[in-house]
Amino acid sequence: RPGYDAAAAQQRWQAYWEEHDTFAARDDGSRERRYMLDMFPYPSGDLHMGHAEAFVMGDVVARYWRLRGFDVLHPIGWDSFGLPAENAAIQRNTNPAVWTYANIETQATSFKRYGLSFDWSRRLHTSDPEYYRWTQWLFLMFRDRGLAYRKASFVNWCPKDQTVLANEQVVAGLCERCGTQVTKRQLTQWYFKITEYADRLLSDMDQLQGAWPDRVLTMQKNWIGRSEGAFVDFTIETPREERVVTVFTTRPDTLYGATFFVVAPEAALAAEIVTDDQRAAFEAYLEATNRATEIERQSTDRPKTGVFLGVYATNPVNGEKIPVYAADYVLADYGTGAVMAVPAHDQRDLDFARTYGLDVRMVVDTGEPDPAETGVATSGDGSYVNSGQLDGLTDKVAGVGAIISQLEADGVGQGAVTFRLRDWLLSRQRYWGCPIPIIHCAACGEVPVPEDQLPVVLPDLRGQDLAPKGTSPLAAATDWVNVDCPQCGGPATRDTDTMDTFVDSSWYFYRYCSPDYADGPFDPDDVRRWMPVGQYVGGVEHAILHLLYMRFFNKVLYDAGMVDFVEPMQRLLNQGQVINQGKAMSKSLGNGVDLGVQIDEFGVDAIRLTVVFAGPPEEDIDWADVSPGGSLRFLHRAYRLACDVAAPPGVDVSTGDPGLRHQTHRLLADIEQSVETQRFNVTVARIMELVNVTRKVVDSGAGAADPAVREAAEVVTIALSLIAPYVAEEMWEALGHAPSVAQASWPVVQETLLIEDAVTCVLQVQGKVRGRLQVAPTISEDELRALALADEGVQRALAGREVRTVIVRAPKLVSIVPV
């Protein structure tokens, strides 16, 4: 027999949903609300298999919540500014806007076809002036709060994209976007002071334990990199002056073991203290340093290099004078950019000491062999030696405590906490981004663009050369750049940088709550009703980028009184990737799988089912191991089952085959549990099982007319609608229900039907059968009596009359005689 026609079903139901606004977020105040958010896509080309996987997971959640009776917000939009659009536009010689909005339309069409239950009325694009007006407003709000500032510094520079990159965008020394080796450059840039929130970004992670993947929490924790230790003041005598130089150390207890001192070559200090004799050597070394990346510099297996600066530092605890080096394993922008080197207990210092023949002095005896001989630094607990008043102590906590007290008493140091996290560099010298709403005036300095003049709209540079040159292409738009100063009216110029697109994506989920709101970035009431987001779904590649930045934004909004929750995303799911033959899909390997082609061949439902069935959502899917054809055959089977049902809608299912009813409710309980715990692959397995057991009953026993068959087919249809919505609509219709299954209710598990080896107990009132119960064969008489008296059919038959006798023959019969 034929199955369902996937292509026809897609056309029909997509049109139906659209016409009836089936998935518009209901919000009349009578139901509990849930917010299901997907990370919004970049509009780079059409949807691919990765999208197919990510978005179906969120769709299962949204559809489930709707069936459970929640009002569900499930919006979609586009992260539409950014380098990919600009690079593609340069390559194809078109304007980024043209390319971007064309891609958005393509993706929107594909999303609709893919059956995602989005509320399309809330659609947004971060490159729309109506949106980025508020990105600019938020930037100015941050600046008012002292959280946005400009400074000159060395920045990561991608020579190919000709733009600055945030540390997070440098992966293993390479540009995250194009893979080019990143170099350093000095520029004046805008920063967000995310470091001011380092402590809270860490401590609020408590609220996310168990609800966010551990992997993401660990990555954020390491990225924030909290270190406890001390600042210690050394004095350095230069030929010109004596200066105090502070180091940060996590091991102040090893202070007596410091045998040399190291400063970062590019820190201003190095050039200031170097002697004339050593200057030429130092400058040559500095040049070499500027060519190395931060990752290379921190690499432990790289040979240590450095140069003696000709000066000595005095250790504050023992007055010892130790030589000062510049070496590139010390970074300028971490701690204070200077370290006391303790080669016996720090491997990097030991490697350096062995290269340059410097002293190695053990001050913590851990019982391991002497590092001076083995070349292996020891870092564990032990008893202090050669360490003045620390000698005799035997653990780190005591040692660190004692030395910090001493440093503080002597006024030469103090206990301290530092963070690895750097401020967020947000300036980009590129065209296709949100303009920074600042005007530079010779007389007034930085002047914010007045609120009533927002948005600062990107000038149309169509036909102009956007190719990267190292300065923003906006600088060439002189009509746009030259403005009157809003403060003094004198000649002034606009800031020509645009913002990192991670600024755009740090607040889009608030905007979805009130997409047309005109008095601010979002309506605080709407946000209070819908947020925090109940479930966020997206890729783990954003663990330290977007997922940290948006937490930071939320905290600033919280401090500004604009939101009343500390963490914006209650739960996070990182879906896996779709790979092929064990490898990431790529053009060069020729192992790409095209989503459109797959859908044309098997239909949307079969592809969605395949993706969900392939494994737990966070695991990668190898397309070589799955069977969309098998999925399609299953869907046909499920469809035919619905078509075969002969009992009418609304039939009293309690008279149905007890064995099948038991299976139906047992599997329904499993389906529910697996959806709640996001084991969606198990959900599919259980639905398949239910189709099989039901089919057996249809083909034997009481057959298609058994009410239990209808019950089972309805459970199959509703559960399947989460994953394969088109065929589920067809089935719902075949079952004689009005459209749409999206408006159905999630079936209720009947606990009494879950019992293994249940026995049917007949309930009689005055000798007539008034009901049946599924009970355990071991049920006690008292329990059975209570259940029987509570039964709806019995109650109806009694019609309020008092009971005279109850005869209980557990487990098969209860006979009730009323007065």
- Is residue 337 close enough to count as binding ligand ANZ by CB under 6 A? yes
Q: Judged by CB, which is closer to ligand ANZ: 161, or 266?
A: 266
Burial 323-338 (b: 16+ CB within 10 A, else e): bbbbbbbbbbebbbbb
Q: Write down the least CB distance from residue 234 to ligand ANZ, Å.
A: 12
Give the one entry of Zn ion, ligand ANZ, none that residue 788 binds, where binding means its C-beta sits below a cut-off of 5 to 8 angstroms depending on kind.
Answer: none
In whole angstroms, what is the distance from residue 208 CA to residue 217 CA? 8
- Is residue 458 close enough to count as binding Zn ion by CB under 5 A? no
Binding residue (CB under 6 A) for ligand ANZ from 22, 207, 227, 275: 227
Q: Write down the least CB distance from residue 436 to Zn ion, Å.
A: 17
Sheet strand arrangement including 583-584: 583-584, 578-580, 621-622
Q: Write down the least CB distance from residue 241 to ligand ANZ, Å.
A: 23
DSSP assignment string, 777-809 = TT--HHHHHHHHHH-HHHHHHHTTPPEEEEEEE
- Is residue 115 close enough to count as binding ligand ANZ by CB under 6 A? no
User: Applying CB under 6 A, which part among 341-349, 381-389, 575-583, 804-812 lies near ligand ANZ?
Assistant: 341-349
- Is residue 366 close enough to count as binding ligand ANZ by CB under 6 A? no
Burial of 552 (0-12, 13-18, 19+ CB in 10 A): buried
Give the one entry of ligand ANZ, Zn ion, none that residue 487 binds, where binding means its C-beta sits below a cut-off of 5 to 8 angstroms depending on kind.
Answer: Zn ion
Binding residue (CB under 6 A) for ligand ANZ from 346, 504, 711, 729: 346
C-alpha of 533 from chain center: 12
User: Applying CB under 6 A, which part among 89-97, 244-252, 562-570, 601-609 lies near ligand ANZ?
Assistant: 244-252
- Is residue 488 close enough to count as binding Zn ion by CB under 5 A? yes
- Is residue 122 close enough to count as binding ligand ANZ by CB under 6 A? no
Cβ count near 790 (within 10 Å): 10
Structure tokens at 608: 């969605």
- Is residue 234 close enough to count as binding ligand ANZ by CB under 6 A? no
Q: Write down the least CB distance from residue 441 to Zn ion, Å.
A: 3
In whole angstroms, what is the distance from residue 169 CA to residue 499 CA? 14
Q: Write down the least CB distance from residue 606 to ligand ANZ, Å.
A: 51
Q: Judged by CB, which is closer to ligand ANZ: 326, or 788?
A: 326
- Is residue 308 close enough to count as binding ligand ANZ by CB under 6 A? no
Q: Judged by CB, which is closer to ligand ANZ: 71, or 266?
A: 266
Cis peptide before 811 (omega within 30 of 0): yes
Cβ count near 632 (within 10 Å): 23
Binding residue (CB under 6 A) for ligand ANZ from 66, 251, 551, 662: 251
In whole angstroms, what is the distance from residue 284 CA to residue 506 CA? 42
Binding residue (CB under 6 A) for ligand ANZ from 248, 480, 509, 552: 248
Q: Are strands 482-484 and 491-494 parallel, antiparallel or unpaired?
A: antiparallel
CA distances 587 to 419, 503, 596, 682, Å, are 40, 31, 16, 33
- Is residue 249 close enough to count as binding ligand ANZ by CB under 6 A? yes
Binding mask 260-279 for ligand ANZ (x = CB under 6 A): ----x---------------
Q: Write down the least CB distance from residue 265 to ligand ANZ, Å.
A: 11
User: Applying CB under 5 A, which part among 461-469, 481-489, 493-501, 570-578 lies near Zn ion?
Assistant: 481-489
Cβ count near 795 (within 10 Å): 14
Question: H or E segment at 243?
Answer: strand 242-249
- Is residue 85 close enough to count as binding ligand ANZ by CB under 6 A? no
Cβ count near 422 (within 10 Å): 18
Binding mask 542-581 for Zn ion (x = CB under 5 A): ----------------------------------------
User: What does residue 514 show for φ and ψ, rounded to 5 degrees?
Assistant: -155, 70
In whole angstroms, what is the distance from residue 236 CA to residue 203 CA? 38
Residue 587 annotated as binding?
yes
- Is residue 487 close enough to count as binding Zn ion by CB under 5 A? yes
DSSP assignment string, 290-337 = HHS-HHHHH-TTSPP-EEEEEEEEE-TTT--EEEEEEETTS-TTSTTS
Binding residue (CB under 5 A) for Zn ion from 330, 407, 485, 635: 485
C-alpha of 354 from chain center: 44
Q: Write down the least CB distance from residue 299 to Zn ion, Å.
A: 48
**Beta-carbon contacts of residue 692 (< 8 Å; ≥ 6 apart):** none
Give the one entry of ligand ANZ, Zn ion, none that residue 817 binds, where binding means its C-beta sits below a cut-off of 5 to 8 angstroms depending on kind.
Answer: none
- Is residue 244 close enough to count as binding Zn ion by CB under 5 A? no
User: Applying CB under 6 A, which part among 102-110, 337-345, 454-462, 679-687 lies near ligand ANZ?
Assistant: 337-345
Q: Write down the least CB distance from residue 392 to ligand ANZ, Å.
A: 19
- Is residue 254 close enough to count as binding ligand ANZ by CB under 6 A? yes
Question: H or E segment at 45?
Answer: none
User: Applying CB under 6 A, which part among 126-134, 173-181, 340-348, 577-585 lies near ligand ANZ?
Assistant: 340-348
Q: Write down the least CB distance from residue 491 to Zn ion, Å.
A: 9
Question: H or E segment at 424?
Answer: strand 424-425
- Is residue 360 close enough to count as binding ligand ANZ by CB under 6 A? no
With H, G, I as helix, E, B as strand and everything else as coil, classify residue 340. strand
Amino acid at 513: C
In whole angstroms, what is the distance from residue 34 CA to residue 237 CA? 65
Give the one entry of ligand ANZ, Zn ion, none that residue 183 binds, where binding means its C-beta sits below a cut-off of 5 to 8 angstroms depending on kind.
Answer: none
- Is residue 386 close enough to count as binding ligand ANZ by CB under 6 A? no
Structure tokens at 398: 């005591």
Give the one entry of ligand ANZ, Zn ion, none that residue 339 binds, where binding means its C-beta sits below a cut-off of 5 to 8 angstroms depending on kind.
Answer: ligand ANZ
Structure tokens at 168: 């997070």
Binding residue (CB under 6 A) for ligand ANZ from 24, 331, 759, 762: 331
- Is residue 646 close enough to count as binding Zn ion by CB under 5 A? no
CA distances 254 to 93, 411, 551, Å, are 61, 18, 37
Binding residue (CB under 6 A) for ligand ANZ from 85, 104, 245, 339: 339
- Is residue 334 close enough to count as binding ligand ANZ by CB under 6 A? yes
Give the one entry of Zn ion, ligand ANZ, none that residue 345 binds, where binding means its C-beta sits below a cut-off of 5 to 8 angstroms depending on kind.
Answer: ligand ANZ
| Alpha-carbon torsion angle 247, 252, 258, 261, nearest 10 | -10
Annotated binding site for ATP: 587
Annotated binding site: 587
What residues make contact with ligand ANZ under the rule CB under 6 A? 227, 248-251, 254, 264, 330-331, 334-335, 337, 339-340, 342, 345-346
